[in-house]
Structure 1
Amino acid sequence: MNHLHDPDDLPAAEVVARPRRKGIYILPNLFTLAALFGGFYAVVMAMNGRFDLAAIGVFCAMVLDSLDGRVARMTNTQSTFGEQMDSLSDMVSFGAAPALIVYEWALQGLGKLGWIAAFVYCAGAALRLARFNTNIAVVDKRFFQGLPSPAAAAMVTGLIWVMDDLGFKDVALNEPWLKWTAFGLTLYAGLTMVTNAPFYSFKDVSFRRSVPFIVIVAIALSFAVISYHPPLVLFAVFLAYGFSGYAVYFIKKAKGKPVSVIAVSTDEPDEKGLHQ
């Protein structure tokens, strides 16, 4: 006759530990969800003709997106779920949303060329995010490989914000020069996201180290300048950043330095020459 044993009576070696249930960290994912809401809000505002609020929604999503990773690292709450959630949020807020907003604002007035440009931007954002996730282990941390999608979104929606603030309305029906300007900038942003141009990532900037007093003064002055005319100043900053990668590329090329941000291709050695 077999006897049933209580688990407390079994030796410690025979007790099988139950696997811990995997949970989801709330704090960093709250920032990610808020960034996702910013992108969704931007699309809804564009559908209602409020392009100024649509641009503000994208810029708010940028701020929140920059915080979720830092919060996760500071609180030691990084997770694979959070990484995947962040990528999906970025695709909505900085890929699909800017493409739809600029199409509603100006590109629909160009017919097929308009939606083709919007699709090139959207596809560029998707390809860039996929490449970022697969190359994260071999890319120089100081630089992004290609224009980061938040900066590309800031360029496209920044133009919309500035022009709307200057009083340009119904751009899709009027202002041919502005439609073509939006067309060119959208194509530029979309294609630059999938180039190998190195864009400074600012990841080597540490907020835990002491800095000279003049740095705090410069930060205060930058806030003052931005508050003077946020649409124009922010658009100018991200437009300059959007061209900085090519400047770094040609400066490195002229000095004979390596221009690739790929350190070593360990999984696919045959591709090493493609990133030079």
Structure 2
Amino acid sequence: MKLRKLMFVLPNLFTVTSIFCGFYAITLCAGEATPVHLYQAALAILFAMFFDGCDGRVARLTKTQSDFGVQLDSLADVVSFGAAPALLVYKWALAPLGFLGLFISFTFAACGALRLARFNVIAARNPHGGGGSFFVGLPIPLAAGGLVSLIIAHHVVRGGEVSPSVQGPVAAAVMALALLMVSTVRYRTFKDLRLSKKSALVLMLVGVAGSVIATRSHPAYVLVAFSSVYLVLGLIESAFLVRRRFAARKVRAGAAGAAAVVLEEEDDEDEEDASPEDRPNFL
């Protein structure tokens, strides 16, 4: 019995560790943070992503999923992948923009919180749905991962402070990630991924692609490339899904129209075949 109780605590320990990593990142960004401090904060958020990915898998493996764990995970995500990355990107590139930079950073944190609230509502309405194969909107850990990959790559390749020419693209990227979180774009969860020939082939291709990027350009660009590919794949899959739904709706509308025409013709034939006594007399 005691062992069973300890198993319920285990996934929550991973979640709390994720909160610690996010809190540590915030402390590194506070005050007069140097580029090295910001780089360390980005690494701390990267570790938070690792622990956040482990808690759900540990809970499923030990069959210790609970409503408490779901709520704790959402609160952890707000700290580690909402507030921490928003403060980090503000200190890293957006502070010189003044209030605009502050507002953009806040937008990222606010959209992350809204996305988590929507996820909790959907999970509460469909507790046995399993979440399906897709997320609705970009998950907040992956949005934070996109920002962190940019900061890590910039520090490793160029180092130092961000040049003014980079501030505009960074601000646009932050806003795009924020809007994707509250959008209805569908992103794959990979929760139900099972080892098979197809999955092994995909993993091998991903590994080869990462190796090519690391050897031809720089290892720091691997995270940026993988994050960008995931973002683009979600947009492409959602576009195809919308197109398929529109085509299906068009086919259903055409079928309904054809059925209505057939019924009309049948009514006209019945009226023509009716005897004079059966036809209505309007005189």
Q: TM-score, normalised by structure 2?
A: 0.74
Query: Which of 34, 40, 56 is the equivalent residue of 2:23?
Result: 40
Match of 1:254 in 2: 243
Query: Which of 172, 180, 183 is the equivalent residue of 1:184?
Result: 172
Report the CA distance between 1:155 and its aligned residue. Answer: 1.0
Match of 1:106 in 2: 93
Report the CA distance between 1:220 and its aligned residue. Answer: 6.0
Rate the CA distance shift 1:79–1:210 in 2: closer, same or farther, 3 A.
farther
2:227 aligned with 1:238, yes or no? yes
CA contact (8 A) 1:147 1:199 kept: yes
Output the CA distance in 2 between the equivalents of 1:170 and 1:213: 41
Report the CA distance between 1:170 and its aligned residue. Answer: 2.4
Report the CA distance between 1:254 and its aligned residue. Answer: 2.9
Q: How many residues align?
A: 234
3-state SS of 2:89 partner: helix
Query: Which of 57, 79, 82 is the equivalent residue of 1:70?
Result: 57
3-state SS of 2:220 partner: helix
Output the CA distance in 1 between the equivalents of 2:142 and 2:57: 18
CA contact (8 A) 1:124 1:190 kept: yes
Match of 1:54 in 2: 41
2:138 aligned with 1:150, yes or no? no
Output the CA distance in 2 between the equivalents of 1:254 and 1:238: 25
More displaced, 221-230 or 58-67? 221-230
Cα deviation per residue 1:39-67 (whole Å; 9 max; x = unaligned)?
12222233332222111111111111111
Output the CA distance in 2 between the equivalents of 1:42 and 1:160: 13
CA contact (8 A) 1:145 1:197 kept: yes
CA contact (8 A) 1:155 1:242 kept: no
Rate the CA distance shift 1:247–1:222 in 2: closer, same or farther, 3 A.
closer
Match of 1:123 in 2: 110
Output the CA distance in 2 between the equivalents of 1:226 and 1:57: 24
Rate the CA distance shift 1:258–1:155 in 2: closer, same or farther, 3 A.
farther
Cα deviation per residue 1:206-236 (whole Å; 9 max; x = unaligned)?
35x6878756755765775687644310111
CA contact (8 A) 2:193 2:199 kept: no
Root mean square deviation, CA, Å: 2.7
More displaced, 130-139 or 105-114? 130-139
Q: Mark the structure with the bigger radius of gyration.
A: 2
Q: Sequence identity of aligned pairs in percent?
A: 38
2:13 aligned with 1:30, yes or no? yes
Output the CA distance in 2 between the equivalents of 1:258 and 1:61: 42
3-state SS of 2:11 partner: helix
Query: Which of 161, 182, 203 is the equivalent residue of 1:170?
Result: 161
2:186 aligned with 1:198, yes or no? yes
Report the CA distance between 1:141 and its aligned residue. Answer: 0.9
Report the CA distance between 1:129 and its aligned residue. Answer: 0.3
3-state SS of 1:144 partner: strand
3-state SS of 1:238 partner: helix
Output the CA distance in 2 between the equivalents of 1:88 and 1:158: 23
Q: Which runs of 5+ in 2 are unaligned?
A: 249-283
Rate the CA distance shift 1:165–1:258 in 2: closer, same or farther, 3 A.
farther
Report the CA distance between 1:204 and its aligned residue. Answer: 2.4
Rate the CA distance shift 1:77–1:230 in 2: closer, same or farther, 3 A.
farther
CA contact (8 A) 1:252 1:258 kept: no
Report the CA distance between 1:240 and its aligned residue. Answer: 1.9
CA contact (8 A) 2:157 2:220 kept: no
Letter matched to residue 145 of structure 1: V
Report the CA distance between 1:79 and its aligned residue. Answer: 2.0
